A and B are shown apart, each in its own frame.
Chain A
């Protein structure tokens, strides 16, 4: 095994000796899988992070006799223009591949250590590799959307994501094109690309629904199993096992036989009911198949939380109108102080902002504000305790208008390890410009104070003597009044109409909107002519139920026309 400077030195010597950096012109058309030579079986050209030392190319000899590599030239192709091939490695006289064996050319960090250590400096797709043999045979492997045909054999293979390899599956595949022969794989330098027997949990396929279930409530863990092996997995041959681990230990969730037979390459969806006690869990799904040759892909896991997290959002300003920038008020709902720097804030996207700039831990039941622009917020609200105002960077700008699904955006709080604390999905419908959303009466509603109440709890309303109250009862033409309500339901649909003394409906100042049990909203007389009117306020529960209707008189002052 070669390490560190030794491997780099060896690589340098090999490169110098082989004349790396120059490629000879090749006239023969590339083949996909040469009949008398070892073949390119796996390529890792894009490692996670810095590629240096991690890239490799694996050759496989599918035949029953050893084959030499002497004089074979490995060249990298730059797909951005024609004829741009650069030599990366040349086989020495002593290099050969045993019958059924593999030969890896790669960087010093590749494990197990390559037979030839070379810094390959391969490009991410669309690019190509080719292996030019002394007898004129050329094998080409192209990946990504290539423009020039010389860079691939038939259709190019897919361009893989960082950390994944491009693997010939099965190892001796020869289906007439790179696209058919190669697929995305888990890097396996020196090993078979496809085991005979390999059932795994498809990486990244696990999901918990709902994402943050209530403690003890029914939830579903879904995922996909994939038969990566070359043989059929019979029905009932494998066991699917689910567990949930917390600081207190691990508890079993489910265990059952996989009831379907899976042909090579097949995947199957699994959907398992479960219930979790309150808290943070690592939920794991594993598959156990006797004789499985690749245990590394047998399990996958998720960090999830049942019940509310320690930090929750209490007010969201997603469309500031006074230059204070967006901000989110949060509350420590746990019994212990929280370090806000150990949480992240994001929208529906993947960028997670880390709080900074505030001071001290957030005491239980205390409020803090995460701001897009801390200085601007403190300028707009100079009375705020600056120690509890934190900036968050990068700030994911919150959308102000809904998408086609009626959702504007989401505010997502996570712990530093990615465990979800809270996801608030909000709609901008019916939220007056500049008014934040606040959590009260069991829902997200326009803030009772239009300017917002950062670091203060929502304004508490006094109960009304009636279900509806419109004040003032006398207003000027074109003026505004406020409709307050106090309803027996947690959520209600409310509307307001104006009728004249003849009973004709003349205006509908408030179209039906969803509202909490208590609240108020401004309405405008608009272009309604001066006179005496009857307001008709209506409410119905969100769902089914009886209407509540109340009428009252309102006078709109103005001169006769």
Chain B
């Protein structure tokens, strides 16, 4: 069996799985991708980092957080480009009704070969509003919005730097996760890439650090990553063929368990 045919079959199977799991609860726009990458529409909305490619693309993503059945995220997003401009929009749903929410996301940006920058905005609304509660009578108690930005720069040949502040401003219902400044650097040469990341939580809390290594060969990209607080690791695999790419990643937390992510892209720009 040819590899391309194998990938197609796997992609179809993945789509079928997502279809079967359609009623599952979801969250924002997390995706199976190495940090800092702008490989899909979903990732663009999540980080504000615009993709290089201008071709229209559709991406769907699924995540299960720490193996908890009540914490699953499904997202769908599309991205389009015209010359330097990039625009993406998406919808996601996270969690069971009593703890979960739905979200719509928008992102726009500009890209040049040496770098790009984008703005992102996500609006959320609780999935379940208890009748008679404060949330039922006041929009701010059941909905929230956050606005942020991201930018990346090809600092040197093979060296890519990025920064993102996904929650520059937020209002209404607080976002589910505090996401302050995230910065990173990636160096890639001959298909082998290394990266470092740092995320500084708000309120002066201790920063998180991450590191990873990725290997690209043909239409395949595999990576391994590690993070601290607490120390944990993950692996991922991305495969692409013409109009399709599929990625899966798993990260293992020593106490909370595994978080699994799948992403499927159609006609997307795979970096």
| A interface, CB within 8 angstroms of B | 473-474, 497, 499-505, 529-532, 534, 536, 549, 551-555, 557-561
CA A505 to CA B206, docked complex, whole Å? 11
B95 touches A532 (CB 8 A): yes
* 27 A-B residue pairs with CB within 8 Å: A501-B176, A502-B199, A503-B230, A503-B253, A503-B256, A503-B259, A504-B208, A530-B173, A531-B175, A532-B99, A532-B177, A534-B68, A534-B71, A536-B255, A536-B256, A551-B68, A551-B256, A552-B68, A552-B70, A557-B135, A557-B174, A558-B174, A559-B171, A560-B144, A560-B171, A560-B175, A561-B170
B99 touches A534 (CB 8 A): no
CA A473 to CA B127, docked complex, whole Å? 14
CB distance from A473 to the nearest CB of B (A): 5
A530 touches B65 (CB 8 A): no
CB distance from B133 to the nearest CB of A (A): 10
In the complex, B172 has a CB within 8 A of chain A: yes
CB distance from B226 to the nearest CB of A (A): 12
In the complex, B5 has a CB within 8 A of chain A: no
CA A497 to CA B256, docked complex, whole Å? 11
Tell me the nearest residue of chain A to B174, going by C-beta. A530
CA A501 to CA B259, docked complex, whole Å? 10
B177 touches A502 (CB 8 A): yes
Residue from A500, A553, A559 within 8 A of B95 (CB atoms): A553
CB distance from B41 to the nearest CB of A (A): 21
**Which of A534, A536, A554, A560 lies at the interface centre, i.e. has the most chain B CB atoms within 10 A of its CB?**
A560
Chain B residues positioned under 8 Å from A552 (CB to CB): 68, 70
Chain A residues positioned under 8 Å from B65 (CB to CB): 501, 534
CB distance from B192 to the nearest CB of A (A): 27
CA A522 to CA B166, docked complex, whole Å? 35
B208 touches A502 (CB 8 A): yes
In the complex, B242 has a CB within 8 A of chain A: no
In the complex, B66 has a CB within 8 A of chain A: yes
CA A5 to CA B59, docked complex, whole Å? 117
CB distance from A74 to the nearest CB of B (A): 84
B170 touches A499 (CB 8 A): no
CA A558 to CA B96, docked complex, whole Å? 19
CA A552 to CA B66, docked complex, whole Å? 9
A561 touches B71 (CB 8 A): no
Q: Which residues of chain B in 91-110 are interfacial with respect to chain A, using CB atoms and an 8 Å cutoff?
A: 94-96, 98-99
Chain B residues positioned under 8 Å from A530 (CB to CB): 173-174
CB distance from A258 to the nearest CB of B (A): 62
CA A474 to CA B97, docked complex, whole Å? 11
A503-B230, A559-B172 known, 8 other contacts, Cβ within 8 Å: A474-B99, A504-B229, A529-B174, A532-B71, A532-B177, A551-B66, A558-B173, A559-B174
**Which of B66, B170, B172, B201 lies at the interface centre, i.e. has the most chain A CB atoms within 10 A of its CB?**
B66
Q: Which residues of chain B in 163-213 are interfacial with respect to chain A, using CB atoms and an 8 Å cutoff?
A: 170-178, 199, 201-203, 208
CB distance from A475 to the nearest CB of B (A): 11
CA A160 to CA B77, docked complex, whole Å? 94
Tell me the nearest residue of chain B to A538, going by C-beta. B255
CB distance from A535 to the nearest CB of B (A): 10
B257 touches A529 (CB 8 A): no
In the complex, B18 has a CB within 8 A of chain A: no
Chain A residues positioned under 8 Å from B146 (CB to CB): 560
Chain B residues positioned under 8 Å from A553 (CB to CB): 68, 70-71, 95-96, 99
Chain A residues positioned under 8 Å from B178 (CB to CB): 500, 529, 531
B229 touches A499 (CB 8 A): no
B170 touches A560 (CB 8 A): yes
Q: Report the interface size for chain B: residues with CB under 8 A from the other chain.
A: 39
Chain B residues positioned under 8 Å from A500 (CB to CB): 177-178
In the complex, B140 has a CB within 8 A of chain A: yes
CA A505 to CA B253, docked complex, whole Å? 11
| B interface, CB within 8 angstroms of A | 65-68, 70-71, 94-96, 98-99, 135, 140-141, 144, 146, 170-178, 199, 201-203, 208, 227, 229-230, 232, 253, 255-257, 259
Given contacts A500-B178, A551-B256, whether A560 and B173 have CB atoms under 8 Å apart is yes
CB distance from A322 to the nearest CB of B (A): 32
**Which of A503, A504, A549 lies at the interface centre, i.e. has the most chain B CB atoms within 10 A of its CB?**
A503
Given contacts A501-B65, A549-B255, whether A561 and B98 have CB atoms under 8 Å apart is no
Chain B residues positioned under 8 Å from A557 (CB to CB): 135, 141, 173-174
Chain B residues positioned under 8 Å from A558 (CB to CB): 173-174
Tell me the nearest residue of chain B to A497, going by C-beta. B255
CB distance from A265 to the nearest CB of B (A): 66
A534 touches B170 (CB 8 A): no
CB distance from B105 to the nearest CB of A (A): 16
Chain B residues positioned under 8 Å from A497 (CB to CB): 255
Chain A residues positioned under 8 Å from B172 (CB to CB): 559-560
A499 touches B256 (CB 8 A): yes
CA A134 to CA B199, docked complex, whole Å? 103
Tell me the nearest residue of chain B to A549, going by C-beta. B255
Chain B residues positioned under 8 Å from A531 (CB to CB): 174-178
CB distance from A239 to the nearest CB of B (A): 65
A561 touches B202 (CB 8 A): yes
CA A552 to CA B141, docked complex, whole Å? 23
CB distance from B227 to the nearest CB of A (A): 8
Residue from B67, B170, B176 within 8 A of A532 (CB atoms): B176
CA A529 to CA B132, docked complex, whole Å? 25
Given contacts A502-B208, A555-B99, whether A534 and B66 have CB atoms under 8 Å apart is yes
Chain A residues positioned under 8 Å from B177 (CB to CB): 500-502, 531-532
Chain B residues positioned under 8 Å from A554 (CB to CB): 99
Closest CB pairs A-B (n = 4): A530-B174, A532-B176, A560-B170, A555-B99
**Which of A531, A551, A552, A554 lies at the interface centre, i.e. has the most chain B CB atoms within 10 A of its CB?**
A551
CA A559 to CA B70, docked complex, whole Å? 23
CB distance from A334 to the nearest CB of B (A): 50
Tell me the nearest residue of chain B to A559, going by C-beta. B174
Chain A residues positioned under 8 Å from B203 (CB to CB): 529
CB distance from B146 to the nearest CB of A (A): 7
CA A560 to CA B124, docked complex, whole Å? 12
CB distance from A553 to the nearest CB of B (A): 5
CA A529 to CA B173, docked complex, whole Å? 12
B173 touches A503 (CB 8 A): no
CA A554 to CA B98, docked complex, whole Å? 9
Tell me the nearest residue of chain A to B145, going by C-beta. A560
CA A534 to CA B253, docked complex, whole Å? 12
CA A505 to CA B175, docked complex, whole Å? 18
Chain B residues positioned under 8 Å from A502 (CB to CB): 177, 199, 208
CA A216 to CA B68, docked complex, whole Å? 52
CA A555 to CA B99, docked complex, whole Å? 6
A559 touches B140 (CB 8 A): yes
CA A554 to CA B199, docked complex, whole Å? 24
CB distance from B44 to the nearest CB of A (A): 20
**Which of A501, A558, A561 lies at the interface centre, i.e. has the most chain B CB atoms within 10 A of its CB?**
A501
Chain A residues positioned under 8 Å from B173 (CB to CB): 530, 557-560
Tell me the nearest residue of chain A to B142, going by C-beta. A557
Chain A residues positioned under 8 Å from B96 (CB to CB): 553
Tell me the nearest residue of chain A to B171, going by C-beta. A560
CB distance from B93 to the nearest CB of A (A): 13
CB distance from A533 to the nearest CB of B (A): 9
CA A501 to CA B99, docked complex, whole Å? 13
Chain A residues positioned under 8 Å from B259 (CB to CB): 503
CA A533 to CA B96, docked complex, whole Å? 13
